Structure 1
Amino acid sequence: MFGSFEGQKRITTGTADTQTNGALALQGVLRETQLAGYGFALFHRGANLLNCTTSLNGSTVAGGFSTVPVVIANGDGAASDAITVRYGRSMSGGIATQVTRRDGDVLSVNSNLGCRVGDTLIMSNGGDTCYLLTVEDLPVPAINTTEITLDADGYSDLDPQPPSGSLPTPGDSPWLASCLGEYREVTFSVADDRLLRNGQEIASGIVGLQAQYGISDSAGDSAIQQWVDATGDWASLGNTDRRKRIKAVRVAIVARSPLRDPDPVSQACNQAIDPPTGVCAWKDESVGGFDSPAPVIDLSSADDWDHYRYRVFETIIPLRNVVWAKGAM
Structure 2
Amino acid sequence: MNLSLSRRRGGFSLVELMVSVVIGLLALLFATRLVVSGEQNKDAAVGGSDSMQNGMLALFSLSSDATEAGWGLNDPMLAGCDTVFSDANGYALPTMQRNGANFTPLAAAVIQSNGQDPDVISFNSGTSQAGAGSVKLFADYTVGNTLTIDNRNPYAFNDGDVMVMAPLTPGSGQCTLFQLSGFGAAPNSTILVNSGGRYRYNPIAGLPLPYKQNLAYIYNLGAPAQLHFHTWTVANGVLLLRAAELAGAERAGVSVTDNVVSIKAQYGFDARLPGPKAYDPNPGADGMQVTRWSGTMVDADSDGVVGSPGDYQRIAAVRIAVVARSKNTEKPNSAGQCGATTVLPTVFATSVPTGVAAVPVQVNVAVAGDVVPWQCYRYRVFETIVQIRNSQWRP
TM-score range, shorter chain: 0.7 to 0.9
Letter of the 2:72 counterpart: G
The equivalent position to 1:26 in structure 2, one of 47, 56, 59, is 59
Contact 1:112 1:148 in 2 (8 A): no
Say which is worse superposed, 7-16 or 99-108, in terms of deviation. Answer: 99-108
**Consecutive unaligned residues in structure 2, runs of 5 or more:** 1-33, 94-104, 196-201, 243-252, 277-282, 332-337
- Paired residues of 1:237 and 1:243 also in contact (CA < 8 A): no
* Amino acid corresponding to residue 22 of structure 1 in structure 2: G
Report whether the alignment pairs 1:200 with 2:257. Answer: no
User: How many Å apart are 1:126 and its aligned residue?
Assistant: 2.9
Q: Write the distance in 2 (CA, Å) between the matches of 1:294 and 1:8.
A: 31
Q: C-alpha displacement at 1:299, in angstroms?
A: 3.4
In 2, the alpha carbon distance for the partners of 1:288 and 1:16 equals 32
Q: Greater strand share, 1 or 2?
A: 1
Match of 1:12 among 45, 55, 59: 45
User: Which residue of the partner structure matches residue 218 of structure 2?
Assistant: 177
Cα separation, 1, equivalents of 2:354 and 2:128: 40
CA contact (8 A) 2:267 2:295 kept: yes
SS at match of 2:390: helix
Q: Which residue of 2 aligns with 1:255?
A: 324
1:104-183 alignment runs, 5 A limit? 105-110=146-151, 111-127=153-169, 128=171, 129-138=174-183, 141-142=186-187, 146-151=189-194, 154=203, 156-163=205-212, 167-168=213-214, 174-181=215-222, 182=224, 183=227
| Cα 1:290/1:94, change in 2 over 3 Å | closer
Find the residue that maps to 1:324 and give its secondary structure: coil
Give the aligned partner of residue 137 of structure 2: 99
Q: CA RMSD in A?
A: 3.1
Gap change, CA 1:25 and 1:290, over 3 Å in 2: closer
The whole-number CA distance in structure 1 between the counterparts of 2:52 and 2:351 is 27
Residue 318 of structure 1 aligns to which amino acid in structure 2? Q
Q: Percent identity?
A: 24
Secondary structure of 1:283's counterpart equals: coil
Q: CA deviation at 1:10?
A: 2.6
Q: Which amino acid aligns with 2:181?
A: E
Question: How many Å separate the matches in 2 of 1:237 and 1:35?
Answer: 25
Alignment correspondent of 1:295: 361
1:85, distance to aligned residue in structure 2 (A): 1.9
Normalised to the residue count of structure 2, the TM-score between the two structures is 0.67
Larger radius of gyration: 2
The two structures have a TM-score, normalised by structure 1, of 0.79
Amino acid in structure 2 at the alignment position of 1:90: S
Query: Could you report, residue by residue, the CA deviation over 1:104-123 in whole angstroms, capped at 9, with x for unpaired residues?
Result: 51433424222221111112
Q: Separation in 1 of the partners of 2:158 and 2:319?
A: 35
- The alignment partner of 1:116 has SS state of coil
Corresponding residue for residue 171 of structure 1: none
Using the alignment, how far apart are the partners of 2:326 and 2:131 within structure 1?
41
- Contact 1:51/1:240, CA 8 A, preserved across alignment: yes
The counterpart of 1:70, out of the listed 106, 109, 123, is 109
2:122 is aligned to 84
**Which of 290, 295, 307 is the aligned partner of 1:238?**
307
Q: Is 1:191 matched up with 2:220?
A: no
Q: How many residues align?
A: 300
Distance in 2 between residues matched to 1:25 and 1:286, nearest whole Å? 22
- Whether the 8 Å contact between 1:102 and 1:108 is mirrored in structure 2 is no
Q: 1:237: Cα distance to partner?
A: 5.7
How far did residue 266 of structure 1 move?
Answer: 2.4
Instruction: Pick closer, same or farther for the CA change 1:200–1:68 going to 2, 3 Å.
Output: same
Match for residue 52 of structure 1 among 81, 84, 90: 81
Q: CA deviation at 1:229?
A: 1.8
8 Å contact 1:209–1:253 — kept in the other structure?
yes
Deviations 1:232-256 (A, max 9, x none): 768x963122222111110110000
How far apart, CA to CA, are the structure 2 residues paired with 1:317 and 1:291? 17
In structure 2, what is the Cα distance between the partners aligned to 1:287 and 1:245? Answer: 16
**Equivalent of 2:292 in 222, 226, 229:** 226
* Map of 1:266 onto structure 2: 341
From the superposition, tell whether residues 20 and 292 of structure 1 become closer, same or farther in structure 2 (CA, over 3 Å). Answer: same
Check conservation: 2:160, 2:181, Cα contact below 8 A. Answer: yes
Moved more, 65-74 or 293-302: 293-302
Q: Which residue of 2 aligns with 1:306?
A: 375
Q: Deviations over 1:67-113 (max 9, x none)?
A: 222111111x4111110222223233241233334675143342422
Q: Which moved more, 1:283-292 or 1:183-192?
A: 283-292
Shift of 1:300: 6.3
